[in-house]
A = this chain, B = another copy of it.
Amino acid sequence: MIKTISLPRPSLSDNTADADRLIRALKQELKTDRIGIELELLRELPVLLRKYDYHIRCLLFQDRKGYLLVSISGADETKPLIGLAVDLGTTRVVLRLIDLIKGNTLGESTFDNPQIAIGPDILTRIHFADTEGGLEHLHALIINSINEELARLCQTCAITPKDVYLLSLAGNTAMTHLFMGLSPHRIIREPYIPVINTPEIMTACKLGIKANPLSKILIFPNIGSYFGGDLIAGILFSGMNLSEETAILVDVGTNAEVVIGNRHWMIACAGAAGPALEGGLSRMGMMAGPGVIDRASIRSDAHEFDIHTIDDKKPIGICGSGVIDLAACLFLSGMMDIRGKLVPAACGNRFKEKDDMGHLIVVPASESATGKDLCLSQADLDSLKRSKAAMFTILETISGAVGLLLSDLKTFYVAGTFGCFINPKSAITIGMLPDLPLETFKPLGNSSLGGAVMALTQDCIKTIDAIRNQITYLELNVNQDFMNRFSAAKFFPHTDISRFPSVKQYL
């Protein structure tokens, strides 16, 4: 929060000390009973107050007991006050710089999590953290990369890391632990105990972050080992915690995490869908990038695909949303049956056998950038089937757990970059998402980053804690009932076609 205030000048009849004078005014202004101020700022305070003639702009960060005073400048000064939001993903890290005075984005930078060098998945890293010096190495990798990227990003925005006073970071529980240099050892071991759920606001330099030495960082709290701060940030960003209407939020990443609820209650389940989700949705297709097929449709007359590639480059591969679009096309055109098997006769010359497995040629070698056929293999489709069935089963289970039908939902948030590109119509067609009116689906984009940005520009730590405390975590019980539902969902779109009326009409 930025607060411009004028202090009464000291006099013999009001000779309160400089710090106490400022704190008194801020307490009154902010209706709080605690204003924290660091020694380093205290040392500069007498000069600053007089330099600006007691008319100052204060940058404060709300913590759980009040506010922390982070910077003092002249009320009319143009000194930049910058915030840094961090989306700390297992695979990708996104930094976004926010001008805290104007509220706008200054710049953004995405880079690979350098811990990938240790292990692409979090499990490998957690094991590595148990080795001698392993935790320190993982900690240093992420801190150093953030520092380097921050420096670079600042340069492009014509500011310096010293201008960065507030930071917020959202990541899953394991990543957050590695970021803080806390052992993630028990996160993956029964009974799955993190070191901390709710970190205090801390001084960023304590973590090795090279922003302003006075800068403070809010690290989003987690609910447990399998429900991290990234999801809390996502919920904050969606606003579903404020709404009377019940909404569902699905974050499709390495795991599928689902939250259902409204301002009165929230139920979440995440990750541990057992073998059903093994492999995960993220394995569908390749990562989005130039030349990657992200959208596709079919000219039903000709069995011809209309494909779209990112940046309109010659196609080099297919990403998740493309796979879903293509699977929907294949199913509707009869090239794939309701079991998800390619139908060679219907595929015609697009069908080929390779390594004893059926393949559907999406783009022939002659038109692809790789010089090779771009295919969907039967294995790809089987994997998609398992993933979409798992997703649908989780959605069914969680809504059932609160006595709701999926059709009762008025808003369906799809988070993650995946959620941005996915075509809900296609996802419904393959039975991955429930058959709701298309306007029900709201892509949130990088909701984790969005929540982190909100934490910089609004006083929302209480809201964040409220979200955390409001959520009931539902351990997905992968029992016979779940497996039966899962089996029923392993058809396109479902064994019970009556649940997908919008698809049925085309069949």
Q: Which residues of A contact B (CB under 8 A)?
A: 10-12, 15-20, 34, 36-37, 39, 42-43, 45-47, 64-66, 180-183, 185-186, 190-200, 202, 206-207, 222, 224-225, 475
A18 B64 Cβ-Cβ under 8 A: no
**Contact status B193-A37, CB under 8 Å:** no
Given contacts A10-B191, A224-B15, A196 and B66 within 8 Å (CB-CB):
no
List chain B residues, Cβ under 8 A from A191: 10-12, 15
Chain B residues whose CB sits within 8 angstroms of the CB of A194 once the complex forms: 17-18
> Would A15 and B192 count as touching, CB distance under 8 A?
yes
Residues of B within 8 A of A19 (CB): 195-198
- Taking CB as reference atom, which chain B residue is nearest A190? B12
Q: Is the CB of A39 within 8 A of B206?
A: yes
A195 to B37, CA, bound (A): 12
Contact check, B196 vs A20: say whether CB atoms are below 8 A apart.
Answer: yes
Tell me whether A17 and B65 are in contact in the complex, defined as CB-CB below 8 angstroms, given that A46-B186, A185-B46, A202-B39 are known contacts: no
The complex places the Cα of A222 from the Cα of B17 at a distance, in Å, of 9
Are B197 and A16 touching (Cβ within 8 A)?
yes
* Interface of chain A, main secondary structure: loop
Oligomeric state, in copies: 2
Task: Assess the A195–B12 pair: CB atoms within 8 A.
Answer: no
Known: A15-B191, A16-B193. 6 other contacts (CB 8 A): A15-B193, A17-B193, A17-B195, A42-B182, A43-B183, A47-B183
The answer to whether A15 and B198 have CB atoms under 8 Å apart is: no
Chain B residues lying within 8 Å of A475, measured Cβ to Cβ, are 12
Which residues of chain B are near A66, meaning CB under 8 Å?
65
Among residues of B, the one whose C-beta sits closest to the C-beta of A40 is B206
Cross-chain contact of A46 among B181, B192, B195, B198 (Cβ < 8 A): B195
Closest partner residue, chain B, to A202 (CB atom)? B39
Closest B residue to A37 by beta carbon equals B200
Chain B positions within 8 Å of A12 at CB level: 190-192, 475
Give CA–CA (A182, B43) in the complex, Å: 5
CA distance A191 to B12 in the complex (A): 5
Residues of B within 8 A of A185 (CB): 46
A64 / chain B contacts, CB cutoff of 8 Å: 34
Least CB distance from A467 to B in Å reads 16
Identify which of B39, B195, B202, B225 contacts A180 (C-beta below 8 A): B39
The residue in chain B whose Cβ has the minimal distance to the Cβ of A225 is: B15
Tell whether, in the assembled complex, residue A200 and residue B36 are in contact, meaning their CB atoms are under 8 Å apart.
Answer: yes
Separation in Å of the A215 CB from the closest CB of chain B? Answer: 15
Query: What residues on B are CB-neighbors of A20 within 8 Å?
Result: 196-198
With a cutoff of 8 Å between Cβ atoms, the chain B residues found around residue A42 in the complex are: 180, 182, 195-196, 199
